[in-house]
């Protein structure tokens, strides 16, 4: 922060609900226990960053990968995270971040798939809304900070070609822009990423390489536009995004 004082937007912990993060209950299960204590600690990291390290910064809470139960409630991982953000009696976060890949990948052709994923976002907004008797209700902003149509996920399913996977990115963009229209509290969307890696590249999942690296890009490796880019550009030009 001292080295780059002009940077004012931060997140305290990326995807604390992801199974590869030590804060995740799923990670705890791998180690032989199941606990939400890690999510409480992740919430505390947000509080320290916002209240002590950079009081003038916009620090988003959450940065969830989508694995967390967005319905919240007593004893849930989400509630434990919220408790961590308020462990010193501070006001709740005014900004949350979420990676809505499931919402982007939802298929209109599959019954209830789009509706169910949108319900998860609605639940998340409801769970993070601050309601206290005698105080104004606070509906925080929601930033979608890592988004895109996951080409590699679709390709990993047997029988799906690269061209089919790329074609699906247009629907992913439509799904995400629909979320912006449906939920006014969504105020930012960050696409991840701009250009895909070359065909034939591999990624490492643990010790074994897998054939398709993470790919949710707007452009092909040669720089040509994917359907998602065309829709993203139109959204920006029209001032919707």
Tens-place pLDDT, residues 109-121: 998 999 999 999 9
Q: Summarize pLDDT for 163-190 with one digit per residue, the tens.
A: 898 999 999 999 999 999 999 999 999 9
Domains of the chain plus CATH, in order, are 9-237 (3.20.20.80)
Residue 30 has a pLDDT of 63
pLDDT at 88 over 80: no
Range 145-156 average pLDDT: 89
Sort residue 87 into left (φ over 0), alpha (ψ -120 to 50) or beta: alpha
Cβ neighbours, 10 Å, residue 182: 11
Strands ordered across the beta sheet of 186-191: 9-11, 58-64, 95-98, 141-147, 186-191
Range 56-63 average pLDDT: 96
Q: ∠ CA 210-215-216 to the nearest 5 degrees?
A: 150
**Backbone dihedral angles phi then psi of residue 236, each to the nearest 5 degrees:** -70, -45
């Amino acid at each position: 922060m001292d080295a780059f004082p002009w940077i004012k937007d931060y997140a305290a912990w990326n995807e604390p609900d992801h199974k590869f993060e030590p804060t995740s209950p799923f990670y705890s299960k791998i180690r032989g226990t199941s606990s939400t204590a890690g999510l409480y600690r992740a919430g505390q990291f947000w509080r320290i960053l916002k209240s002590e390290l950079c009081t003038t910064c916009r620090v988003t809470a959450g940065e969830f990968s989508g694995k967390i139960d967005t319905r919240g409630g007593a004893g849930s991982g989400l509630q434990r995270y919220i408790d961590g953000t308020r462990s010193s009696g501070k006001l709740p976060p005014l900004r949350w971040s979420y990676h809505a890949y499931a919402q982007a990948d939802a298929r209109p052709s599959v019954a209830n798939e789009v509706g169910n994923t949108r319900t998860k976002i609605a639940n998340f907004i409801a769970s993070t809304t601050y309601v206290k008797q005698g105080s104004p209700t606070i509906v925080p902003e929601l930033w979608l900070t890592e988004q895109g149509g996951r080409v590699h996920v679709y390709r990993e399913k047997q029988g799906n070609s690269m061209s089919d996977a790329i074609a699906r990115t247009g629907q992913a963009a439509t799904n995400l822009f629909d979320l912006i229209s449906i939920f006014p509290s969504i105020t930012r969307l960050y696409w991840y990423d701009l250009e895909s890696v070359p065909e034939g590249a591999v990624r490492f999942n643990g010790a074994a390489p897998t054939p398709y690296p993470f790919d949710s890009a707007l452009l092909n490796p040669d720089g040509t536009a994917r359907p998602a880019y065309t829709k993203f550009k139109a959204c920006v030009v029209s001032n919707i995004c």
